[in-house]
Chain A
Amino acid sequence: MRFLRVPLQYALALVALAAALFWLPASVRAAAATPTDDEVNAVASQLYCPVCENVPLDVCGTQACSQWRAIIRQKLQAGWSASQIHAFFAEQYGTRVLASPPFAGASVLFWLVPLALLAAGTVLLVRTLRKPATAATGAAGPVSEAHAARMERELDDWR
């Protein structure tokens, strides 16, 4: 039976290898595949060209952008997520390369000010729309002298 031992060992090793490949984590298998241009551009679209102003990285034709897209491809191939890649670029080149400013530090203003202005505008709009109805109600019908005098008195108090 000794002659059977060596082939059996090989067979067991092959089975173990096949099993390992089958159960390999998805991220590792994904890392082995080359990312497509669409995948690279999806990440790049959330970054801005370091050289040209207001040009997203996915549509930028400069050499610098080309180098950056190559880095994105490498990182995706290594299994990095989009947010990890964005964080890497922010650390290397500053937060100004990000399409969306981070919700931290002074950048918080970019998020909060528009929301505050929107809220203030909504309140103003609602109040403005309500006013004519109140005025119309108040203007209906003749006003007696006593009523007018009382209104003047209350107006004085209010002022």
Chain B
Amino acid sequence: MTGAEAPLLAATPAGLARRWQLLAWLLLLALLAVVGAKLVQVSRGSATSGAAPLFTLASFDGTQHTLQAYRGKIVVVNFWASWCAPCAAEAADLEQTWQAYRERGVVFLGVDYVDTEPEARAFIELWQQTYPNGPDRGTVIAQAFRIRGVPETYIIDQRGQLQAPIIGPTNRAQLSAVLDRLLAQP
């Protein structure tokens, strides 16, 4: 090829094209990774075992309840809402169980999920719940436990380990069975 002749092929730098292709592939892979991570997170289901997620619940009376502060005690975490009929069905049993076990080092915490405060307070008053209850602001606690709905109840043992979650309404017999077993452990 002489210097005066214009090149027949367009002056497409192959390296530049390859770099664009590489960038496009990297972006596509990054997007797939983000989507994949989200899918894995969604499909994991409720927290069932292992160390319980740490959380702080500000109860309706203004007290802060941190899970870490209850290490050495059994903690029953109940997710509920005033608009949830099955939550009303289990409310009396939860209170009775709390009354029966409170002197034995068992802590009950009610986590009010996507609810409105006046209705939540009315619910607590109606069912005369005396254990701490508070709103889950920003659904932070619900996301940590990966709950799928309400009611759900999680029992955390003295070492901070999750026991099998109770999905759906629970009752006194079911709770007592788990609590008695945990209290009997050395």
**Residues of A bordering B, CB below 8 Å:** 50-51, 62-64, 67-68, 70-71, 91-94, 96-97, 109, 113, 116, 120, 147, 150-151, 153-155, 158-159
Contacts and interface: CB of A to CB of B under 8 A. Distances in A.
B9 A71 contact: no
B138 A92 contact: yes
B83 A63 contact: yes
Contact of A68 (B24, B27, B116, B139): B116
Contacts of A96: 139
A62 B9 contact: no
Given A67-B116, A92-B138, A159-B14, 19 more contacts: A50-B114, A63-B83, A64-B83, A67-B82, A67-B83, A92-B135, A93-B114, A93-B138, A93-B139, A94-B138, A94-B143, A97-B114, A109-B34, A120-B24, A151-B8, A154-B7, A154-B8, A158-B9, A158-B14
B57 interface: no
Which residue among B9, B83, B135, B143 has the maximum number of chain A CB atoms within 10 Å of its CB?
B83
Contacts of A93: 114, 138-139
7 contacts: A63-B83, A64-B114, A92-B138, A94-B140, A94-B143, A153-B1, A158-B14
Interface residues of B, number: 24
B93 interface: no
B9 A70 contact: no
Nearest to B139: A94
Contacts of B9: 151, 154-155, 158
A146 B25 CA distance: 40
Is chain A's binding surface mostly helix, strand, loop or mixed?
helix
A68 B79 CA distance: 19
B81 interface: yes
B95 interface: no
Contacts of B115: 64, 67
Interface in B1-21: 1, 7-9, 12, 14
Interface in B27-64: 27, 31, 34
The 7 tightest CB contacts between A and B, nearest first, are: A50-B114, A63-B83, A64-B83, A67-B116, A94-B139, A94-B138, A154-B9
B137 A92 contact: yes
A76 B91 CA distance: 33
A66 to B, nearest CB: 8
A50 to B, nearest CB: 4
A147 B8 CA distance: 9
Which residue among B24, B115, B135 has the maximum number of chain A CB atoms within 10 Å of its CB?
B115
